[in-house]
Structure 1
Amino acid sequence: MSEKRQHPPTVRLRRLAAELRRLRASAGLTREDVTEKKGINTATLYRIEKARTRPQKRTLMALLDLYEATEEQRADLLAIQSGSTDQGWLRPYHSELPEEYTAYIGFEAEARAVRNYESLFIPGLAQTESYAHAVIKGVWAAATQKEVEQRVQARMERQALLTKERPIQLWAIIDEAAIRRTVGGRAVMKEQARHLLQLMEEPHVTFQVIPFDKGAHAGMPGCFVHMDFPDPADPELVYVDTPAGDLFLETEAEIRRYKSMFEHLQAVALGPNDSADLLAKVAESRD
């Protein structure tokens, strides 16, 4: 019998985990100290602090007592604990998508800003349906038609983040290869280039292209996404999609490294106006 699929972590669960790690560190305690004083299994505490499980209320209360949390901290963390598994963004068919991808969709849905670098693809939030269909079918060669359609539908639903009342802030940087490679045919790429030009007119969207003549640059090892969230207390997150599996990075050192990398890419890329000119030329070349 297959195991019941677990929900991916939410932003709130990650925040709870981060706050508990911080409180323990402030109290000068190791996980082993907590086990000795409160009888909480070390492995369980590790899972709580890594946002892999939600602590039961009595466990959370015991930790807050041990860490001598203030009344304000208690109220805040208990409120987070009570809603830490909410997954309002899930659709019925999402249960058939890979768990890492549904986790990414959830984090993206709650993000304030997304900074996305892509070397070979148009960013998912900026893809047309035709381009998304062609690229998913091409990359995921073993997928059934149903699986392809589910991925395309999920990608199109994600783009509502750009048109909601308080839209997500998107800053996307791509290598010129992403707009030069013919995915789905010339007509599909012309439509995609024009769609990007329309998106660039929105105040919450910034788009830059790194031209071929810039040579080697910091983004060549691979793509990544950096997210931050409306509440500054929610930890920032970096997502990296690799052939070996998806990675969610959140340590301060990792966040700093990818922030620095994105800043280098901003500096080497064409400015938004010159990027728009290049996109317009690419669209014309598809006639």
Structure 2
Amino acid sequence: MRLAIELRRLRDAAGLAAREGAALLGVSAAQISQIEAGLAGVSEKRLRRMAANYAATDEEFIDALVAMATDRTRGWWEAYRGSLPTPFLDLAELEHHASCRWDVDFLHVPGLLQTEDYARALFSYVNPEFPRSEVERWVEHRMKRRIIIERPDPIPYETLIHEAALRIRVGDQIAARAQLTRVLELSEADHVIVRVIPFDLNGFGGAGSAMVYAGGAVPQLDTVVRDGPNGPVFIDSEAQLNRYRTLFRRVEAVSLEPERSRDFIHRLAKEL
């Protein structure tokens, strides 16, 4: 779908109607429409010809689109197709291909840092009608998503966590202490940066900026993910991406430095 969106944007930027793009490519307008709707794939040769027809000259961007078009990965998330909503599988796939990851969270510990007990308590509370087996399916999926920061070649990860998220006891006292310990352990990794947003900030109006920011192969392919009523919502327009990059840096600027953040979390854990 993202490839389809980017190809449509290239055509629009060239000022061409779908039928004009189809004529240049030697295909029907219906074929162009199917490609741009994500209903049909596109070969490397055809994609590069489309880029040339649209006067696209950013070779790094075009190469990234080719990589998307020719990728045939069937990742671990496919095992959950049919049992979990598609947007959550899309999120796992997005993370798999991400070059970096930023999180901002205000009410919960970020998913990539959650322990099994924390995730289990969270899913059980939010979905009280779920049978135990279904809750375990969600927990298992969330734990597998952590691979991007736990594998031998992890991606750079930075998270900004509000004090509220660290203090709210999603589970019991033992689970809360274990969760804080888990955050502390991960914060020691070279590729992980954890910063705390304390309660006592003056003039802080950024509590509405919770998000996941996934870096693409090139900046044009970055993606912001926000929670929606039916699951993750994916945002990819350049104007919105710029807005969320700015928001992240503003919140980062008022957050505690990593060392002070570790000290802060350690004090919270001792209170338990």
Deviation for aligned residue 1:136? 1.3
Q: Is 2:75 aligned against 1:88?
A: yes
Of residues 171, 188, 193, the one that matches 1:206 is 193
Of residues 249, 253, 257, the one that matches 1:267 is 253
Q: Is 2:206 aligned against 1:236?
A: no
| Other-structure match for 1:21 | 9
Q: Is the 8 A contact 2:104 2:211 kept in 1?
A: yes
Q: Is 2:113 aligned against 1:121?
A: no
| Counterpart residue identity of residue 246, structure 1 | P
Other structure's SS at 2:176 match: helix
Other structure's SS at 2:226 match: strand
Q: Is 2:28 aligned against 1:40?
A: yes
| Other-structure match for 1:108 | 95
Deviation for aligned residue 1:93? 3.1
Counterpart Cα distance in 1 of 2:232 and 2:162: 21
**Residue pairs, 1:45-194, within 5 angstroms:** 45=32, 48-49=35-36, 52-57=38-43, 63=50, 66-67=53-54, 80=67, 83-194=70-181
**Structure 1: 5+ residue stretches without partners:** 1-8
Q: Is 2:234 aligned against 1:248?
A: yes
Taking only aligned residues, the RMSD between alpha carbons, in angstroms, comes to 3.1
| Counterpart residue identity of residue 9, structure 2 | R
Identify the range of structure 1 (53-62 vs 105-114) with the bigger mean alpha-carbon deviation.
53-62
| Other-structure match for 2:206 | 219
| Counterpart residue identity of residue 183, structure 2 | L
Q: Is the 8 A contact 1:161 1:168 kept in 2?
A: yes
Deviation for aligned residue 1:188? 0.4
Identify the range of structure 1 (89-98 vs 253-262) with the bigger mean alpha-carbon deviation.
89-98
Q: Is the 8 A contact 2:98 2:214 kept in 1?
A: yes
Other structure's SS at 1:213 match: coil
TM-score (structure 1 length as normaliser)? 0.81
Deviation for aligned residue 1:255? 0.5
Identify the range of structure 1 (138-147 vs 78-87) with the bigger mean alpha-carbon deviation.
78-87
TM-score (structure 2 length as normaliser)? 0.85
Identity of aligned residues (%): 29
**Structure 2: 5+ residue stretches without partners:** none
Cα 1:138–1:222 change in 2 (3 A) is farther
